[in-house]
């Protein structure tokens, strides 16, 4: 009887641990360049961004008519960049760790995973 209840307790704890795991995130940094509203060159970055969540890139939203460019994926997840906010428009995938694109690729949002 004790063996069965002990096994049930261990099984229940294991199932709970699986159900309560935190959301995964890409490890590393995603970088991009842009021109600020004031006309200055800047570099934006995301550290350890969440997976499977659309991220509008800071500094290149609707307040800035110029999109970001030259994205560099230094995370351990695939990054899909989009030409428009809210992960809309044309997209391009950047491989993990070494994904680079030229200044010609314009970006406003990204999703990892």
How do residues 7-16 score in pLDDT, each as one tens digit? 444 444 444 4
Confidence of residue 46 (pLDDT cuts 50, 70, 90): very high
- Report the sign of the C-alpha dihedral through residues 13, 19, 20, 22, in that order: positive
Given a cut of 50, whether residue 19 has pLDDT beyond it is no
Nearest CA to 55 out of 99, 102, 93, 108 is that of: 108
Average pLDDT over the chain, rounded to an integer: 86
List the structure tokens of 44.
């934006």
Whether the CB-CB separation of 71 and 79 falls below 8 Å is answered with yes
Q: What's the pLDDT score for residue 62? A: 82
The model's pTM: 0.78
List, in order of start, the domains of the chain with CATH numbers: 28-112 (2.60.20.10)
């Amino acid at each position: 009887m004790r063996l069965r209840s002990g096994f049930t307790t261990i099984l229940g704890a294991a199932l709970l641990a699986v159900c309560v795991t935190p959301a995964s995130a890409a490890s590393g940094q995603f970088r991009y360049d842009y021109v600020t509203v004031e006309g200055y060159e800047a570099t934006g970055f995301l550290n350890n961004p969440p997976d499977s969540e659309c991220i509008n890139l800071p500094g290149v939203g609707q307040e800035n008519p110029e999109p970001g460019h030259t994205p560099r994926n230094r995370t351990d997840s695939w990054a899909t960049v989009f030409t428009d906010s809210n992960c809309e428009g044309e997209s391009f995938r950047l491989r993990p760790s070494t994904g680079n694109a030229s200044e010609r690729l314009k970006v406003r949002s990204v999703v990892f995973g």
